[in-house]
Structure 1
């Protein structure tokens, strides 16, 4: 028996390759599926089943393409309905992969069809669970993402409580837990940085698995502090339910080089969004007017999904040389399949063609501190609500980058804003979006709040009421 976790940091997502006696099961595959086919072929094995723990909202799974390319059967939990062929399992149904068995445990709550897959080894012993978004390390899945459900998030939270106590907690403490996500995912609120654990440890440390917890307490705690889901979640979930364009087609279309004239024509006449995915330091120095920055070196795909509201938006790329295919791939992982190409030769080719560029003013935290002491400057903090609450500059205006499209009316185009996040990535994203909307008086704070805290500027720190 072989179990391999294939973890993707940008999405904080774990897919799984399981093999026994020449037969393979894949759980929650990514959009680019050739990696699984290659792995199976290298081991002289055949992919037999593709198990989906639920209709994912935070990424587009590769199950449809993988089934077409291998003949494997797609398995969803009870009640799943799709526009392509699947096997909708019943609770406790078992599937054989070589000498091992995978048993379906229907665990609704995160979504209605959510299921946990129990792996029983060749000796008949319960070995591991692939818990999807039902159980994370340190947390459980948010119960507010069901597609077109008449149930409330409170109703789903009750279901999740029952699923955890009736299906998961009775299992042995030594069972390995393989979740779908780790820290950084928006599918929960307190996920561990660890991506593999054991169930006994979760029973001791995971707040949602407290033995003395009442149903009412669970509902309150699991819903407390959940931010609104990113706008692309519902769209990705629907793509996973209805199907999507073939990945190889999407990649071929996006991996198309464009000279500056062709690139400009697409931006001007096809309303293509110019997406600059270079490091923020390069964007600051020079970028195409009205381009949006979301760098590959950060949480690229989730930020694309949160901020580009039209999932069918035509996109053209300014990318580091050799990173074009990676950018198209990572866009497709969250359903942005309409990339039309990239600027051949990058920003240097644009400059050489005589076309205009713009820059973004960026200053050190020390220079910023001196300006604050001189008085009269506007500060915009674009960190998440929890970060701001924990500690912030006293006179800073705040709204989270996640919801910048809804909050631009809070600032004024004729004022200058000094923008910061935690480390400098999100502030440049925010500045690029504001510049594209006509806010031209913007200053980025290099190093963000991490650098600001090293100056002598006073901050307001949150004090827990229980300590007062």
Structure 2
């Protein structure tokens, strides 16, 4: 028996392959199915099944494409309301692969339709569990993503109560040596305090996971709902897309229009410049937003841009452009790309450079914008008088920013402030807008 984890660091997403006697089951696959095909070929296996632990909010799954390509059966809870060909997989249901079994366990909490998959080895012993977004290393899934998305909606308080019983009644009673394979690792917005471990055990989580400690239901609900991270704009959209099944990855990526660098851009369409901030500051399209390609590009794109908005996607080279197009497709936004192009010759708008010494000496003469997330802001402001507007909220809250003195934007390291400065300067032109960038480390 082979159990293999595939990990996408950009979305902190883990998917899995289970192989036994030439048959392979894929669990929670990413948008690009090619790695699963290659792994199956490497081991001389046929992909015969795909299991979705729930309709995912933070990435687009390739379950439908794998089914269409290989004929693999898609297994998902009957509660998910799946609109693609599938077999239901709920409490008591078993997938037998020769002498091993994959057993469904309904575990509502993160979503009403969440399942976990318990793996029974060839000796009849429960040896591992694939927990989706129910149980992570150091955390459990957040309960507030399904209040307005999916086949079944539920209030976060209700799902938090469900999580209490799913963990206590179904997971914590498993043998302590059972290996836990979650769908996410640290950095995912599907939880709030995941550990760096990409796998764990029931026993370790019983000892170390704050959510599995002794507490009553009311205390659990209160603890779980507190301090959850922000919800990107694309999350509800991806739930619905995964419920239907997304179109094929390669054909979707290839359908993106690649335009000449100097085409005339429509004025009412966003321009997303994915270059490093230093290059952007030295020359960019006026009014463009700097979302630098990096480990969290997908998350920030789906946090700043809504699922119904079109945008131009810019990069420095053809290779870089291909990379960001594929990353855009991982959250289902490839159809939002009006055109993808290299940096045009009229990208000559320069960002103003802040006089750090003057700012340090006369902070009162500037409007300071803190673009960090609420959890960071609540742990302490770096500048007492700063306006607190997290990046995901900024486009909707521009009117709150006064334009009577120069504006300085900061975050924790420079990524978000680069994006925020572009958003603000596109709307406020009466005063300069400065990106404090990594100089924030001096404060």
Contact 2:3 2:19 in 1 (8 A): yes
TM-score of the superposition, structure 2-length normalised? 0.93
| SS of residue paired to 1:295 | coil
- Written as runs of structure 1 = structure 2, the 5 A alignment for 1:163-312 is 163-210=166-213, 212-254=214-256, 256-262=257-263, 264=264, 267-268=265-266, 271-311=268-308
Structure 1 segment 48-447 matched on structure 2, within 5 A: 48-146=48-146, 147=149, 149=152, 151-210=154-213, 212-254=214-256, 256-262=257-263, 264=264, 267-268=265-266, 271-311=268-308, 313-338=310-335, 339-343=337-341, 346-347=342-343, 350-351=344-345, 355-363=346-354, 367-374=355-362, 375-391=364-380, 392-439=382-429, 441-447=432-438
Computed over aligned residues only, the root mean square deviation of the Cα atoms, in angstroms, reads 1.9
DSSP 3-state at the match of 2:95 = strand
Kindly provide the CA deviation profile for residues 405-449 of structure 1, in whole angstroms up to 9, marking residues without a partner as x.
222111134531111111111100111112233446211113153
Q: 1:417 to 1:50 in 2, by over 3 A?
A: same
CA deviation after TM superposition for structure 1 residue 314, in Å:
4.3
**Would you identify which runs of 4 or more consecutive aligned residues in structure 1 move more than 6 Å?**
none
Q: CA deviation at 1:397?
A: 2.0
Q: When the two structures are superposed, what TM-score results if normalisation uses the length of structure 1?
A: 0.88
Task: Kindly state the Cα deviation for residue 229 of structure 1 after the two structures are TM-superposed.
Answer: 2.2
CA 1:5 to 1:91, structure 2 compared with 1: closer, same or farther past 3 Å? same
The alpha-carbon distance between structure 1 residues 311 and 448, as it changes in their structure 2 partners (threshold 3 A), is farther
State the Cα distance separating 1:258 from its structure 2 match: 2.2
Structure 2 residue ranges without an equivalent (≥5): none
Deviates more, 1:104-113 or 1:91-100: 91-100
Supply the distance in 2 between the matched residues of 1:313 and 1:356 (Cα, whole angstroms). Answer: 20
Of 107-116 and 372-381, the range deviating more from structure 2: 372-381
Conservation of the 8 A alpha-carbon contact between 2:227 and 2:375: no
Q: Which deviates more from structure 2 when the two are superposed, residues 34-43 or residues 226-235?
A: 226-235
CA drift of 1:76 comes to: 0.7
Q: Distance in 1 between the 2:384 and 2:117 partners?
A: 49
Aligned match of 1:2: 2
State the shift of 1:189 in Å: 1.0
Shift of 1:90: 2.6
Aligned residues: 436
Contact 1:232 1:311 in 2 (8 A): no
Q: For 2:394, what is the secondary structure of its paired residue?
A: helix
Distance 1:445 1:438 in 2: 17
Give the secondary-structure state (helix, strand or coil) at the position aligned to 2:117: strand
The change in CA–CA distance for 1:369 and 1:385 in structure 2 (over 3 A counts) is: farther
Post-superposition offset of 1:152? 2.0
The superposition leaves residues 214-271 of structure 1 with CA deviations (integer Å, 9 ceiling, x where unpaired) of 11111111111224522211111000012333222221122x5422333x2xx227x5
Cα separation, 2, equivalents of 1:377 and 1:436? 18
* 8 A contact 2:411–2:437 mirrored in 1: no
Equivalence for 1:44:
44
Cα distance, 1:315 vs structure 2: 3.3
- Counterparts of 1:193 and 1:199 in 2: how far apart (Å)? 16
5+ residue gaps in structure 1? 454-468
